[in-house]
Amino acid sequence: MHKVKNDRFGYPQNGLHDSWYAAIRQMTENLLSDCKRVRRRSRRGERLLREIERNRAILENVPCCMVNFDIWEPNIIVSRENGALNLAWIDPERSFWGDRMADFVCLDFMSPLEKKTAALAAYNSEADDPVLATPEETVRWAVMQAYLALIMETEKYYRYTLVSFGWWRNVVAAGMLYRSAFGALREHQ
């Protein structure tokens, strides 16, 4: 999927941008606006926006490709045909044009990028441009980990009530994702 390229970034339905920095900034601002619409504030989302600014030089130099951003076991279909492995990904509503590091967040989303050795080895065996978990790639991955946390934090206001399991799952998962992301960003200042 990352071999499908584009020269514009973001969600097509929200308008595309000339750089990944501009797109992820707008995507984050949109989620913060969603919070405000229900009279909530995300301080950690605001911190993510500051991290995006601080890492602007890295984010402006990201190549653009198709990103699924919802890769987890129920959305991956694997079959064999004549000994060949066929993969299909379903449920593309979170797909956008952007940074391929986002898809490494969803695969075992609590593991640091450099510890995703099996996923990286499998990816790199087929990729035109391998992922090496460089400091820049780690920053990009951490930004997307915090972005996923902001999605989970925001969606709880729209999808769940305070007494539902989904609300508390999102509270706990978002907190863990934010801690991991901001820790990685702190290490790569």
Q: Kindly report, residue by residue over 72-119, the tens digit of the pLDDT.
A: 767 777 788 898 877 776 777 789 999 999 999 987 778 999 999 998
* Calpha distance 152→132 (Å, rounded): 28
* Calpha distance 125→119 (Å, rounded): 10
* Higher-confidence position of 23 and 123: 23
SS3 string, the chain, reads CCCCECCCEECHHHCCECCHHHHHHHHHHHHHHHHHHCCCCCHHHHHHHHHHHHCHHHHCCCCCEEECCCCCHHHEEEEEECCEEEEEECCHHHCEEECCHHHHHHCCCCCCHHHCHHHHHHHHHHCCCCCCCCHHHHHHHHHHHHHHHHHHHHHHHHHCCCCCHHHHHHHHHHHHHHHHHHHHHHHCC
CA distances from 65 to 69, 98, 163, 166 (A): 12, 6, 39, 31
Q: What is the pLDDT of residue 71?
A: 73
Query: pLDDT tens, 146-189?
Result: 999 999 999 999 999 999 999 999 999 999 999 999 999 999 87
146 within 8 A of 109, measured Cβ to Cβ: no
* Calpha distance 187→113 (Å, rounded): 13
Characterise 85 by phi-psi region: left (phi > 0), alpha (psi -120 to 50), beta (else). beta
Domains and CATH numbers, the chain: 12-187 (3.90.1200.10)
User: pTM, whole model, 2 decimals?
Assistant: 0.92
